[in-house]
Amino acid sequence: MADKKNIPTQDPDNSSANSSELDTLRHIVFGAAKADLERGLSELSRLTGEHFQRLEQQMALQMKQLHSAMEDGLHRLEQQLAVADQNQDKKAEELNAYADKISSELEMAEANSKQENDELHQRLDKEISVLTNSFNEQLQQALANLAKVSSELNTSKTDRKTLAKLLNTVATNLATDEGE
């Protein structure tokens, strides 16, 4: 079997003495370096803390400036939006007023046009009535003349040439009257 090494059993009192000696030896060998390390760590901790405080202050200042800049920007945007809204409202009012004006003018033009059309129809109806009456009168006169001439021809036995001239004169008179 394997050889067992002799391991000394340690006594608890002996152990604390050994520990104390070990601490003393460590202090002698590493004491200055340990103190330097502890001082360095302490200094590093202090510098890091100061640096973090400065960074924290700078960040707080930058955040405050950023917040202030954002508020100023929002305020300017609100002002620009208000001006744009006012301009938009003004333009909408102008457009509505213009639309109302155009609508009113169209209504007036429509009323005037209707009135003019009615007057024109009345004038045309009146002129047609006058022309019809005049034509009827002339037709009656022509028929009366024709009847008179016809009866004269029947009674006087005038020749055909005279009758043709007479009818030609009546036709000419009728054509002239229609042209007026």
Residue 152: other Cβ atoms inside 10 A? 14
**Short-list 153, 145, 151, 134, CA closest to 170:** 145
pLDDT tens for residues 23-56? 888 778 777 777 888 899 999 999 999 999 999 9
Of the candidate ranges 59-63, 94-98, 152-156, 157-161, the one whose mean pLDDT is the lowest = 157-161
* 17 burial type by CB count under 10 A (0-12 exposed, 13-18 middle, 19+ buried): exposed
Q: What pLDDT is stored for residue 66 in this prediction?
A: 94
Q: φ and ψ at 99, to 5 degrees?
A: -65, -40
Residue 170 has pLDDT above 50, yes or no: yes
Q: What pLDDT is stored for residue 6 in this prediction?
A: 45
What's the mean pLDDT when you consider all of the chain? 84
**Short-list 119, 171, 107, CA closest to 145:** 171
Q: What pLDDT is stored for residue 177 in this prediction?
A: 75
Please give the single-letter amino acid code of residue 55: L
**Paired tokens of 11:** 């006594």
Q: What pLDDT is stored for residue 161 in this prediction?
A: 76
Confidence of residue 1 (pLDDT cuts 50, 70, 90): very low
CA distance 121 to 114: 10
Q: Based on DSSP, count helices (H) and strands (E) in the chain, helices before strands.
A: 2, 0
CA distance 95 to 74: 31
Confidence of residue 158 (pLDDT cuts 50, 70, 90): low
Q: What pLDDT is stored for residue 78 in this prediction?
A: 93
Classified as helix, coil or strand, 93 is helix
